[in-house]
Structure 1
Amino acid sequence: MSQISPRLNLPFLQPSQAQKHVTHNEALRQLDLTVQLTVLSTNASNPPAVPEQGEIHALAAAPTGDWAGHGGELAAWLDNAWYFVTPNTGWRAWDLASNMVKVWDGTGWITPPVAAQNLSGVGVATSYDSTNRLSVRSPATLLSHDGGGHQLKINKASAGDTASLLFQSNWTGHAEMGLSGSTGFSIKVSPDGGSWTEALAFDPTTGIPSGAAVQASADDTTTGRLMRADYGYGPGNLLGSVSESSGTPTGAVIERGSTSDGDYVRFADGTQVCTATLNAVSCTTAEGALFSSNSESWTFPVAFSSAPMVSGSGGAMSRFMGFDESSSLHVDYQVLSAVSDAATQRPSAIAIGRWY
């Protein structure tokens, strides 16, 4: 029969053994050291100058002084001498220096691993609750990459639920962005946490924005709102094809063009101006006290919505133009002169009206 226990090396009392109390006390002392083990430090290398009775140190691999040659053992100060115990794999000790549980893994004292799956909650420098199962109290929170990029994912169960970031001041919400009740990304703001304004919302299919921060209509001039490209004008749509819908401009600001009948300019407000240099005519036909050419017709390069106002110049100082009633498509005219003039000259004309 062995004289020591298989795990803690406690000495057994033997039959007919003298001074059995010595063996028994030795076993008790070893139990006193190892049961509910507490150490002043782990990975200790230098013995303290004035140790106290019963203090225990978990030694490093190569301690010095009175501990030399006892690397990895437990050193206990008992009766003015160091008493050494070799730990077995799995022994646990409370480390007073770090206020943590340590475990001997066969080569060193380590912090035992903590199960990180299916925890009920985690609180970092604060407490978690049933809603905020992860709570962090800190000046900042860092989420860094592991060799490449990094994504922060916020998932929701269905389109009608919410997946968002809420920004608070003194626990009152003032801004929120994310997917709030739909799959379209939005940004909302609030002055008091109760009433909310959707400042920006993006259509998930087209990406086109809407919301209080965006111009709501072509005549919306609310201060500070973002101008929509189809409601405002810039280098890309200042010149082009003008158009309208129920009197509201829907195209460019200015449209310019020409045909064989002259030039025209259309404006977004409906104004249209047509100009032309007409066929050359002479003034030799007598009509009363004046001389005039035969009657001519000017077809406008583009149609007006109604008959425009027309004026012109006869092409010389002594000539001027006379017009019959015009239509939206053309106007008849004659070039008149105070004297007979056989020279052919080209008159010019201008018509001003509306294209809608």
Structure 2
Amino acid sequence: MDTTPNLDLPYIAAAQAQKHVTHNEAIRALDAVVQLSVRDRTLTSPPGSPVDGDRHIIAAGATGAWSGHDLEIAAWQDGAWAFYAPAEGWIAWVAGEAALLAFDGADWISAPASAALQSVPMVGINTTADTTNRLAVASAATLFNHAGAGHQHKINKNSAADTASLLLQTGLSGRAEIGLTGNDDLTVKVSADGSIWSEAIVIDGSTGRVGIGTPAPDFPVEVRDTQA
């Protein structure tokens, strides 16, 4: 094998004369394709006044000095154009568009930034996520904005006996909880220590009755004083 399998860099053969020529050829190739940033991807022929080190992704239908090198990397090196054929998985930054591209084996496509976040086991933003809190955010505020109309924040549970709620904490210890806690009634709970909880308000999921101090109101609004 005379070249490397991935970047096609030339090896220096045993007892080879002028080893520096082969070595420099490999260095020039590395300089062109490593940390790849190109000026553009729309040209089909060379620009008029290239600067040493300029790189371009050649658009389809190349002509002139670029003819036959569609989709390759054209690099202006030492006063001449050098061409490097991309392999599947190559990434390139297009400076003129401030865009990241990936070569899929047939074409340069926009690298989908969101794809890396699909089905990931956990995400920590400015903090560390864990197997319980798989999405963790440490921030002064969190914004969930609309996309042109309304916006819903959804918390789904598996069954009525499970919990879907908003838990408000102090020092990671619960102080108030609002949601469906162990049933399908809307409940507001409070706690002074995070261990002992009191149901302050219950709205019956079937009747809409509101109970204050009682979990089973018999009237549209029922208030009971449970203090001794």
TM-score (norm 1): 0.41
The answer (yes or no) to whether the contact 2:58–2:74 under 8 Å persists in 1 is: no
Aligned equivalent of 2:72: 73
Q: CA 1:5/1:140 → structure 2, altered by over 3 Å: closer, same or farther?
A: closer
Q: CA 1:202/1:130 → structure 2, altered by over 3 Å: closer, same or farther?
A: same
Aligned equivalent of 2:144: 141
Aligned equivalent of 2:154: 152
CA distance in 1, matches of 2:133, 2:9: 51
1:24 to partner: Cα distance? 4.6
Q: Which structure is larger by alpha-carbon Rg, 1 or 2?
A: 1
User: Secondary structure in 1 aligned to 2:26?
Assistant: helix
1:121 to partner: Cα distance? 0.5
CA distance in 2, matches of 1:140, 1:21: 60
1:33 to partner: Cα distance? 5.2
Aligned equivalent of 2:163: 162
CA distance in 2, matches of 1:44, 1:122: 34
Residues 30-66 of structure 1 show CA distances to partners (whole Å, capped at 9, x for unaligned) of 753577x32134645697x8956xx46342638xxx9
1:140 to partner: Cα distance? 0.6
CA distance in 1, matches of 2:39, 2:175: 50
TM-score (norm 2): 0.58
CA distance in 2, matches of 1:171, 1:194: 12
Residues 299-323 of structure 1 show CA distances to partners (whole Å, capped at 9, x for unaligned) of xxxxxxxxxxxxxxxxxxxxxxxxx
CA distance in 1, matches of 2:118, 2:198: 40
User: Secondary structure in 2 aligned to 1:120?
Assistant: coil
Once the two structures are superposed, the pairs formed by residues 92-103 of structure 1 within 5 Å of their partners are 92-93=90-91, 95=93, 102-103=101-102
Residues 319-344 of structure 1 show CA distances to partners (whole Å, capped at 9, x for unaligned) of xxxxxxxxxxxxxxxxxxxxxxxxxx
User: Secondary structure in 2 aligned to 1:38?
Assistant: coil
The answer (yes or no) to whether the contact 2:54–2:75 under 8 Å persists in 1 is: yes
Aligned equivalent of 1:131: 132
Residues 117-171 of structure 1 show CA distances to partners (whole Å, capped at 9, x for unaligned) of 3x321234543222210124453123769x9996724214561x42211234665
1:191 to partner: Cα distance? 5.7
Q: CA 1:217/1:104 → structure 2, altered by over 3 Å: closer, same or farther?
A: closer
Q: CA 1:9/1:205 → structure 2, altered by over 3 Å: closer, same or farther?
A: closer
| % same residue | 27
Paired residue type of 2:163: T
Aligned equivalent of 2:57: 59
Paired residue type of 2:213: A
Q: CA 1:143/1:174 → structure 2, altered by over 3 Å: closer, same or farther?
A: farther
1:92 to partner: Cα distance? 1.3
1:110 to partner: Cα distance? 3.1
Once the two structures are superposed, the pairs formed by residues 165-176 of structure 1 within 5 Å of their partners are 165-168=166-169, 171=172, 173-176=174-177
The answer (yes or no) to whether the contact 2:210–2:222 under 8 Å persists in 1 is: no
Aligned equivalent of 2:118: 116
CA distance in 2, matches of 1:99, 1:68: 24
Paired residue type of 2:143: A
Matched, 1:182 2:168: no
1:186 to partner: Cα distance? 0.6
Residues 250-299 of structure 1 show CA distances to partners (whole Å, capped at 9, x for unaligned) of xxxxxxxxxxxxxxxxxxxxxxxxxxxxxxxxxxxxxxxxxxxxxxxxxx
Matched, 1:201 2:198: no
Aligned equivalent of 2:30: 32
Count, aligned residues: 208
The answer (yes or no) to whether the contact 2:101–2:108 under 8 Å persists in 1 is: no
The answer (yes or no) to whether the contact 1:95–1:101 under 8 Å persists in 2 is: yes
Paired residue type of 1:85: Y
User: Secondary structure in 1 aligned to 2:116?
Assistant: coil
Q: CA 1:200/1:67 → structure 2, altered by over 3 Å: closer, same or farther?
A: farther
Aligned equivalent of 1:107: 107
Between 90-99 and 4-13, report the one with greater CA deviation: 4-13
Q: CA RMSD in A?
A: 5.4
